[in-house]
Amino acid sequence: MATAPEIPEIVFAGTEGGAVTDLDAYVQAGGFRALAKARAMAPDEVIEEVSTSDLRGRGGAAFPTGRKWSFVPKPEQLPKPHYVVVNADESEPGSFKDREIMERVPFRFIEGCLIAAYANQATHVFIYIRGEYDRPFEVLRDALEQVRARADLLGGVTIVLHRGAGAYICGEETALLESLEGERGQPRTKPPFPAVAGLYASPTVVNNVESIVTVTPILELGGAEYAQVGVENSTGTRVFSLSGNVVNGGNFELVSGTTLRELIDVHGGGIAGGRRLKAICPGGLSSPILTADQVDTPLDITSLAEAGSAIGSAGVIVLDDRCCMVEYALRASRFYEHESCGKCTPCRVGTRWLSQILQSIEDGHGTQADLDLLLDVCDRVNGKCLCVLGDSDALVVASCLDKFRDDFQAHIDLGRCPFEESPLAGVLAPAVQHERRFHRELDVIPA
Amino acid sequence: MSELVTLTVDERQVQVPKGTGLVETAAAAGVEIPVFCYEPRLGPPVGACRMCLVEIEGMPKLQAGCTLTAQDGMVIRTAATSKKAADGQNATLEFILVNHPLDCPVCDKGGECPLQDLTFRFGPGTTRMSYSKLTFDKPIPISPTIALDRERCILCYRCTRFSAQVAEDEQLVAINRGAHSIIATFEDEPYRAPFSGNVVELCPVGALTSTQYRFEARPWEIQNVPTVCGLCPAGCNVSATTREGRVKRILSRNHPEIDRGWLCDKGRFTYPHLYAADRVREPLVRRPRRGLEPVAWEEALDEVERLLREAGGHVVTALSGTETIEQAYALGRLLREGLGAHSAVLPESTSSALDAFRAPLATIGSAELVVVVGDDAVADRAPIVDLWLRQARRSGADVVVVGPAGAVQVAPGEAAAALQALLDDGSELGARLRSSERAVLIWSGPGGGGGARLAEAAHGLGFEGRPGCAAFHLPASPNARAVAEAWSCAADEDESDPEPIRLLIVSGDEAAGSASVRVLAEQAAATVVIGMFQGLAGGWADVVLPATSYLEREGTTMNLEGRLQRLRRAVLAPVPDELAWLSALAARFGVEVPAQAPAVFEELSPRIFGGITEAEVDERQPLAGRAPYAPPPPAAETKVAAPAAPTDEHLLGELRLVRYRPLFSGPQVERVPELQFQRPEPVVELAAADAERRGIVSGDLVSVRSNGTAVDLLARVDRRLIAGVARVAEEHAGDLHVGVEVVKR
């Protein structure tokens, strides 16, 4: 077992003594210097600095943040209000990094918001925070109160903290914008892209919490300096959320390109109970599953793409050899079925159908033909949907069947699930409590 | 002109203006991209159903064709040439059918269902779905006129988009999410809105059906007759669906300049009045002590002939303005030429001076400034105009209402003065009307000389020189102008003095229901009513001759734009056509009037329509060009009854009673049970200040009193309403006088 190397903390720097929730303490430790530095530059120079850092979006799509900002038409080209929207609707199963970022470094995050507002010439920043995130909401609310007392820091920018109402789909940027506008949380068709017509049909940048918080050190260090850390295409550090059958779950800020093995064995303390690793979900539930022999894959954009998966939101879920992969696929599919917004046909219908097929296999009623049907339905969902929610279900289910076909075959051959003590209930919780309330509501519709 | 771009669709080159939608682009290339949710009239595309998936060179994923626009050099492959696109469309169709109940044999939509049609072309022949389908309670009546079957629904969101983005009533919504998403009305309240029926026509499956049409007919046993709605002056183009000689439903017949394919619920759901229980099916003659008794037609005509001869020219004819041009002309020939009975009571018609500012109604939709002047709500007079106003507002136009409940508050009866004030040098609104290239004036209310004052204003504002500017008068009856013209061209003689009135001829149920006509009937020695419904004239007419409905007539009408349109007989009336017996009766007085509408039209056309033939009146008639401006006759002295001073100092001061005729009213609507929920509640609307002074809040039971009569109504405070006014629907106003007091009970 390797020993832990020195961790160059960038996002969580300065939190050795705990969360930094006092503005004065943050300022004394050098806080808001990055903002001052940014405001001494032209907005375009700030964007250039972020582009130089090669910061990739931390929400899941890994789009270069600097390039995203450069797409926003300048106010003189498009004389409308410009907005910065921060996606803090962290709902991806296996991902809980934004929660800790907002709780531990709220001022670094707010500083990043103000830098983004300056770079994009926005007057308003909207932080759309997941409704269930009570503690991060309180921390941010208190931090914003402190910042609001300092007009010099705000520089005329209004920051609005908006709580979501419990919909995974509102983490999709256009559904988030719809929800923020008070509409039903459903994705919009693109084009037009938010950069041109986002919130209230005005130019809008939508960034993940971790992307925004990282902008602060990028300005502090300089883009080139930041890009020294990490590997090509994946510069800097990332906050990995580690969960599942490991000894020590939690968030770990590591240099991009660290291997899965190091994350699991060194930082996570290995598999609990001395069991064998079976599968790894490397980037939040929506990333296709990896097998145990892919444990040496480095955690960066290129390597994971080559391994047939994705870095996603860097939520690593570890599964040991007791896990039933049919059950994993079923729990994943039930999640997407539950969270599908219902707007487009393939997702609305396909996620439910996939769950039904998987349930039948898991219950031991599956046939050989069901395996082909399962793959075919995945194929018919994937790439046909309005947003990536349905695609994710199809990709995850197909990857489980592809890589753990023996598990599926065993269910069909035995006519039951061969895994008697599958611990998945503790890894991916079902959405049952919502379902129950939901059906009650349906019952009251008059005939 | 927009820049042209060249694209390839399924290996065919096509040139379209840049920005054209891909569905239209493909159609231009002769290729169909199938759709469910796409409907450009509903606003921006949503890309929800995924039926339109196409492959576009350079894009890795299939794209929803409906959401993209034509760009130069685009190479598009549809299911016809791309396996990937075909797979995508097959997938979508399979998914749509996974939860669809496939109850086509008992579904009203079966046979004219886009889902059924596309299923024959895409998707698998058998299902691979072996689990339980989603089920819902069904059908759910979302209103007395519309039933919702949630199992059939494919969630294309056409209905909710119509509700939110066209009619703007926002009553239909999607609730829940994922597979459990359903269409519902907010809080399960009935969908009560003037345009609700359009969602039935928009629904691409049998999820939203008309309660009137359910299980009434199958598409292969019906005929659709193209005709024109006769219930308001807009003259929306409709198709009457008939089966075995009965009208089964009314559909819109999209005339892009008039109605854009929308139809109000009055036009759509009122047809059952044809089968009203009190429909007059035989002539009725009053017998001493026995009342009205059915008689044979010959006998009835003998009786009318006798009455006409005895009257000797002392005859007054009251017209409804719902007659066809031919009927009004035939009546005029009989009475004026045959008897020298020139006196007529005509409904307010539209001034010909407005012909100088004639334009299609669609002009409103693309205007930048619309000023609506008058006492009445536009939706009550010509509902489709309200949709055009909403479209104008959505496209950024400023719509200014000058009236008792408008942004510019004007007391009832003062609208003409307010209109005149627009011509003043200091009028800011007038200055904007003068300088705009796309300004529209609308007169919505009584008075104003049938739009004559409006024509003067438009002239004063210089509208003639600007083709994008227009002026519209919304008359109270569907065909008043042409009826007046046809009556007046039937003979040349001057007005005669009918006093004392020996005979009153009442043409149509609207005239029969009019209070002023009732007053005339009391003066006249005898009254002949031509009406559809016995309830209206049964108590006081001496002879009732059965009338036909607009759905049973051949002929022509002219709508408020001044557009000549053609009515076609959808079904045979259960009674003889008016022209047939008018012709026979006229012959008894030596007047030769043809019994067929085309022949009558041929005779009258040279007199008022420059000699065009009826065959030239097309099914989607274009609008005639503008006429040069001719100043209308000056306004007669208008009498505005001033509210009487309070007679008792304990009174808080009288309010002026404003009666209005709501959209859902009139003899036809009253006879359709499914439409009763649309009729106005027994409500008196009060301005906030007036209500406050009387301690009245919305929902209070109040007594509206005047001169010894009183009506109990519910109060509704309307913050937009001008003070000093009590607004009550005609049917709830009883015998109230113009000055009323409102007291909380």
**One-letter identity of residue B471:** A
**One-letter identity of residue B576:** P
Compute the distance between CA of residue B89 and CA of residue B66 in angstroms, rounded to an integer.
13
Token look-up 């890589």 returns A403
Compute the distance between CA of residue B599 and CA of residue B333 in angstroms, rounded to an integer.
14
Nearest Cα residue to A398 out of A287, A292, A300, A322: A287
Closest CB to B92 among A184, A345, A442: A345
Residue of chain B whose alpha carbon sits nearest to that of A370:
B128
Token look-up 């420059």 returns B610
Return residues 54-93 of B near A (CB < 8 Å). 61-62, 64, 67, 87-88, 90-92
Q: Helices A388-403 and A405-414: crossing angle, nearest 10°?
A: 70
Assess B128–A contact: CB distance below 8 Å, yes or no.
yes
Q: Residues 6 or more apart from B126 whose CB is under 8 A from it?
A: none
Closest CB to A348 among B90, B140, B178: B178
Q: Which two tokens stand for residue A423?
A: 């611990």
Neighbours of B500 (CB within 10 A): 9
Q: Supply angle C-alpha B239, B240, B245, rounded to 5.
A: 150
Compute the distance between CA of residue A140 and CA of residue A104 in angstroms, rounded to an integer.
10
Nearest Cα residue to B356 out of B454, B247, B214, B273: B454
pLDDT at res. B653? 62
* Secondary structure letter of residue A259 according to DSSP: B
pLDDT at res. B495? 67
Q: Which two tokens stand for residue A135?
A: 């503690």
pLDDT digits (tens, 9 = 90+) for B84-128: 999 999 999 999 999 999 999 999 999 999 999 999 987 778 899
Global ipTM: 0.92
Q: Do A380 and B137 touch (CB under 8 A)?
A: no
Q: Are B600 and B594 in contact (CB under 8 A)?
A: yes
Q: Do B128 and A438 touch (CB under 8 A)?
A: no
Residue of chain B whose alpha carbon sits nearest to that of A377:
B91
Helices (H), B104-225: 114-121, 158-165, 198-202
- For B174, left (φ over 0), alpha (ψ -120 to 50), or beta? beta
CA distance A11 to chain B (A): 35
Q: Is the peptide bond before B500 cis (omega within 30 degrees of 0)?
A: yes
Q: Are B43 and B161 in contact (CB under 8 A)?
A: yes
Closest CB to B91 among A337, A348, A384: A384
pLDDT mean values, one per 10 residues, chain A (447 residues):
59 93 96 97 98 96 97 96 98 96 98 98 97 95 97 96 95 97 95 95 98 97 95 95 95 96 96 94 97 98 97 97 97 96 97 97 97 97 96 98 98 96 83 41 39
The sheet with strand B208-210 has its strands ordered as: B140-143, B146-148, B208-210
Interface test with A, best of B157, B177, B187, B394 (most A CBs within 10 A): B177
What's B24-86 look like in SS3? HHHHHCCCCCCCCCCCHHHCCCCCCCCCCEEEECCCCCCEEHHHCECCCCCEEECCCCCHHHH
What's B183-216 look like in SS3? EEEHHHCCCCCCCCCHHHHHCCCCCEEECCCCCC
Q: Which two tokens stand for residue A427?
A: 């890894």
Q: Which two tokens stand for residue B362?
A: 């669609």
Q: Are B47 and B91 in contact (CB under 8 A)?
A: no
pLDDT at res. B654? 86
* Secondary structure letter of residue B654 according to DSSP: -
Q: Supply angle C-alpha B630, B634, B635, rounded to 5.
A: 135
pLDDT at res. B1? 54
Q: Which two tokens stand for residue B310?
A: 């005895």
pLDDT digits (tens, 9 = 90+) for B310-356: 998 899 999 999 999 999 999 999 999 999 999 999 998 899 999 99
Q: Mind giving me the DSSP string for B391-439?
A: HHHHTT-EEEEEETTSSEE--TT-HHHHHHHTTSTT-HHHHHHHH-SSE
Residues of chain B with pLDDT under 70: 1, 494-495, 636-653
**One-letter identity of residue A12:** F
Residue of chain A whose alpha carbon sits nearest to that of B69:
A191
Residue of chain A whose alpha carbon sits nearest to that of B36:
A345
Q: Supply angle C-alpha B6, B7, B9, rounded to 5.
A: 145
pLDDT at res. B470? 97
Assess A442–B contact: CB distance below 8 Å, yes or no.
yes
Closest CB to B179 among A167, A189, A342: A342
Q: Are B22 and B31 in contact (CB under 8 A)?
A: no
Q: Which two tokens stand for residue A350?
A: 């396909």
What's A281-324 look like in SS3? ECCCCCCCCEEHHHCCCECCHHHHHHCCCCCCCCEEEEEECCCC
pLDDT at res. B563? 95
* Secondary structure letter of residue A246 according to DSSP: B
Nearest Cα residue to A434 out of A187, A165, A225: A165
Compute the distance between CA of residue A342 and CA of residue A165 in angstroms, rounded to an integer.
17
CA distance A345 to chain B (A): 5
CA distances for B568 relative to B30, B549, B637, angstroms:
33, 11, 41
Compute the distance between CA of residue B390 and CA of residue B168 in angstroms, rounded to an integer.
8
Return residues 366-405 of A near B (CB < 8 Å). 373, 380-381, 383-386
pLDDT at res. A427? 86
Q: Do A189 and B91 touch (CB under 8 A)?
A: no
Compute the distance between CA of residue B319 and CA of residue B344 in angstroms, rounded to an integer.
7
Q: Which two tokens stand for residue B578?
A: 């008016």
pLDDT digits (tens, 9 = 90+) for B333-345: 999 999 999 999 9
Chain A partners of B53 at a C-beta cutoff of 8 Å?
A: 384
**One-letter identity of residue B226:** P
Q: Which two tokens stand for residue B87?
A: 């797979």
Q: Supply angle C-alpha B68, B74, B77, rounded to 5.
A: 80
- For B738, left (φ over 0), alpha (ψ -120 to 50), or beta? alpha
CA distance A132 to chain B (A): 19
pTM of the predicted model, to two decimals?
A: 0.94
Q: Residues 6 or more apart from B133 whose CB is under 8 A from it?
A: B98, B99, B100, B101, B151
Q: Do A348 and B50 touch (CB under 8 A)?
A: no
Q: Do A342 and B46 touch (CB under 8 A)?
A: no
Compute the distance between CA of residue A271 and CA of residue A423 in angstroms, rounded to an integer.
13
- Please report how many Cα atoms fall inside a 13 Å half-sphere around the Cα of residue B347, on the Cβ side: 28
Q: Supply angle C-alpha B531, B537, B539, rounded to 5.
A: 155
Token look-up 């529209």 returns B440
Q: Are B444 and B381 in contact (CB under 8 A)?
A: yes
- Name the 3-class secondary structure at B495: coil
**One-letter identity of residue A394:** A
